[in-house]
Structure 1
Amino acid sequence: MFKRRAFTLSAALTALLVCVAVPGAAAGEELDDPTAPGPVYRTVTDKSGLLSLQTNGRPDGRDMVFRISGAVYANIEGNAHDPQLRHGQKLFNIEGYNIRRLYRVPGTTQLYQLSREIVFYTDPADPTKIVREWTNPIDLRTYPVVPINNDTVNFGPFNVTPSYAGPPLRQMHDETVWTSDIPVRTNFGLTLGESFGLVNGVYAAQEMFDFYVDDREVAARTVAGTVPRGAMKTKISWSRTSPWAPFMCLPETGVRGQLTYHARSWSLPSYLDIEPWLRAEVDAAHPLYKAAPTEPGPSENSWTSFYNKQLGKGATTWADWCAANGRA
C-alpha cells in the first residue's frame, strides 16, 4: 500500500524530530555499520535527491515510521448496487503505518528501502475501533476482515552517487512539494495462478502521492556533505483506486465497482512514537511489524500477502476461502 513514494499525510511532530544536519558523533557511529546509508548519502548534492532519500528512510540508517490514517469508500459506476451498496459510501476508516529503513549493500553505492506495513480497517464512525468482521451487502455473508499486512515492502537497489537526483520540486507557500503517481498493473492469474475474481486476472490500480516538507525543515536537512539525524518531518497525501479488497469476497468480474482509499501520512522517529492503542494491537497480534527488515528480500502487496497468508501460497483458492469463511 504505502510504498517507496508513499508510503506511504498531516500531524504535529515532537521535538525529537527537530534535528539538524550535522556530521557529529552519530555520523561517526553510523560509519561503523557496513549497511549504513550515510557514506553514500553524504555524496549527494541535488536538493531533491536529498529530500527523496529522506522519505525512503533516515540517513542514519535507523528505523522510521510513516503513520497512515484515512478512509475507504465505494466507487461504483452508475451507482449500480444501490441501496445495498451505494456509490460514495464510506466503508471503513484505515489506521496503521509503514516502518522502514535505508540499507546499503556493503562496499557499494547501492541502497534499498526496506519496510513492513500494517494497516487496520477500522469502524467508519470510530477510527480507533478495529473491525474484525464485515458483512458483504451483496451476498449477505459475514467475512473476517484481514488487515493490510505486507511483509516485506522493499525497493531497490538504486545507485546513489554524486549525480543522484530526485523528482521535480514545487514551491507552495512555505512548503516544498513533489508528486508521484503510479499506475499499477499486475497479472495475478499469470504470476500466481489465482485470479481473485479480477477481470482477466489482472490487478489494476492507481496510486497517487503528494509529499510536503516545510521550508525550514528543507533548509536544515539539505546541507550537502552531512548526514542528518532522525526522521525528516514529512507529510503525505495518498489516494488509491483499486479493486475490492480480497477479504470482501466481491468478484470484480461480477460486482461492478472499486475502492477509493484517501489518507494522510506523517513521519515519526520510531515505533515507540505511534499511539498506544495502535501499538497495543501490534504488540499483541502482529509483533513482526515493530521493526523494519534487516536485509533485502521479496516484497508483498495486499493481494500477494493475502495469497501467501490466507491462501497458503495456493494451497486453497480465493473462491474456496470465501466459501469456507463466509458466515450466513
Structure 2
Amino acid sequence: MPHPEPTDPGPLYSLVEDPLGRAYLRLLGRPDGADMVYRISGAVSADVPGDALAPGLRHGAKLFGFEGFNIRRLYREPETNRLHLLTRELVFYTDPSEPTRILREWRNPLDGRTYPVVPVNNDPVNQGPFPITAGFAGPPPREVHGRLVWSLDIPPRTDLGATLGEGFGLPGGVYTTWELFDFSIDADAVEAGGRVPRGALPVVCLWSRVGPWPPFTGLSEAATNGAGVVYHARSWTLGGFGELEPWLRAAVEADYPAYAAAPREPGPSQTSWSSFWANQLGEGSLTWAQWCEANGR
C-alpha cells in the first residue's frame, strides 16, 4: 500500500471512533482525498413584503433557475491533526423555464434596464481548520424513516461597508441573510470503521437562503424597503467534476476552467459579494452604483 501524502485526510478520518462522526466528515468531503462535488439545482424567487413592488415585480415571482455545483476536497495540514475543507463554487442563473439555458443578461422590471448576469463564482470557499481527534463527533443528526438528517441554520451577518468599503445599497452597508441546510443520508450508509472509504458518500442536501437581491440586478435592499430574494435548491453528491452533465462541464471548460478542480491548499475565502467586488468592481475601482450605471442599458 502506498504511503499517504502529508495532506491526505485518511489517517485523520481513521482516528475518529464515533461512526456518526465519521459520517459527518464524509458529508464534508471524501476521506480518500479526491475531489467531491455537490451538484446544486434550484430557483430564485422575489421576496417582497406586502407585495409592495407590484405590479412591476410581484412577491413570489420566479426570477431565475439556479444551476451549478460546489467542488471540494479534504486537506490535512501536514504533521498536524487539523483538517480543512477546500472548495470552489460556481452556480449559474438560468432561464426559469429552461434550467439548462444560462442567462447572460436580465431585464430589471422596475427600472426597465438590462444588466449582465454574473453567476456565483467564489474561489475559494474554505472552512477550517477543524481539530480531529478520536473523540470527534460533529453535530448530532436526527434519524427519520431510516435516514439521518443534519440540520444547520446559519444567520450570516457581514458589514460590507466596513470590510470592502462598498455597501451595495444594503441598509447600513450590512449584509444579513439566512442559510438553512438539511443534509441527509441513508442510515445504513454509516460504517463501523476500520478502513478509509473511497468515493463519495451518497448525500442529499436541501438548502434555502433568504437575503438581498444579487448585486448584478441593479436592485438594492434599502431602496426596495427590505425586499430581496429566496433561494431554494437541492444538492446531491457526485464523485467529481467528470460526473456533471455535459452542458455544465462545457460551460465550465469554456469560461471557468479553474472550477474543474477543488483548491489544493488553504487560503482566504470569497462570498458572492466579495467576489463581485473583486471581479466586477475592480476591488473598489468602481462603486456598485457606478457599475449599475455603466452596465445597465
TM normalised by structure 1 equals 0.89
Query: Alignment partner for residue 115 of structure 1, among 87, 92, 109?
Result: 87
**Alpha-carbon distance in structure 2 between the residues aligned to 1:66 and 1:101:** 11
Does the Cα contact within 8 Å between 1:46 and 1:166 map onto a contact in 2? no
What aligned pairs does 1:225-244 form with structure 2 within 5 A after superposition? Answer: 225-244=194-213
Runs of 4+ more than 4 Å apart? none
For 1:77-134, what per-residue CA distance to the aligned partner results, in whole angstroms no more than 9, with x for missing partners? 0000111000001000100000000000000000000000000000010100111100
Where does residue 187 of structure 2 map in the other structure? 215
Unpaired segments ≥5 residues, structure 2: none
Structure 1 alignment gaps of length 5 or more: 1-27
Alignment of 1:167-246 (within 5 A): 167-218=139-190, 222-246=191-215
Question: CA separation in 2, counterparts of 1:217 and 1:163?
Answer: 20
**Counterpart in the other structure of 1:318:** 288
In the TM superposition, residue 61 of structure 1 has moved relative to its aligned partner by 0.4
RMSD between aligned residues: 0.9
**Counterpart in the other structure of 1:143:** 115
Shift of 1:237: 0.3
1:158 — aligned with what? 130
Cα distance between partner residues in 2 of 1:259 and 1:46: 39
Residue 284 (structure 2) pairs with residue 282 (structure 1): no
SS in structure 1 of the partner of residue 200 of structure 2? coil
Aligned partner of 2:118: which letter?
V
| Matched residue type, 2:209 | R
1:294 matched to which residue of 2? 264
What's the counterpart of residue 273 of structure 2? 303
Amino acid paired to 1:140: G
Q: Distance in 2 between matches of 1:136 and 1:202?
A: 23
Question: Are 1:51 and 1:166, in contact at CA under 8 Å, matched by a contact in 2?
Answer: no
Per the TM alignment, residue 170 of structure 1 is displaced from its structure 2 partner at its CA by 1.0
For the 8 Å contact 1:95–1:122, the answer to whether it is kept is: yes
The structural deviation recorded for 1:64 is 0.6
Q: What is the aligned residue count?
A: 296
Match of 1:267 in 2: 237
Match of 2:220, SS?
coil
Counterpart-to-counterpart distance in 2, 1:140 and 1:108: 56
> For residue 231 of structure 1, what is the amino acid of its counterpart?
A
Partner SS for 1:42: helix
- Verify the 8 A CA contact 1:43 1:225 in the aligned structure 2: no
Opposite residue 219 of structure 2, the aligned amino acid is L
CA distance in 1, matches of 2:91, 2:54: 28
Structure 1 residues 190-248: Cα deviation after superposition (integer angstroms, max 9, x where no partner): 11110000000000000000011012222xxx323321111100000000001000101
Query: One-letter code of the match for 2:197?
Result: P
Residue 251 of structure 1, aligned match among 212, 220, 236: 220
Kept in 2: contact 1:48–1:167 (CA 8 A): no
Measured after TM superposition, the shift of residue 55 of structure 1 is: 1.5
CA distance in 2, matches of 1:43, 1:223: 13
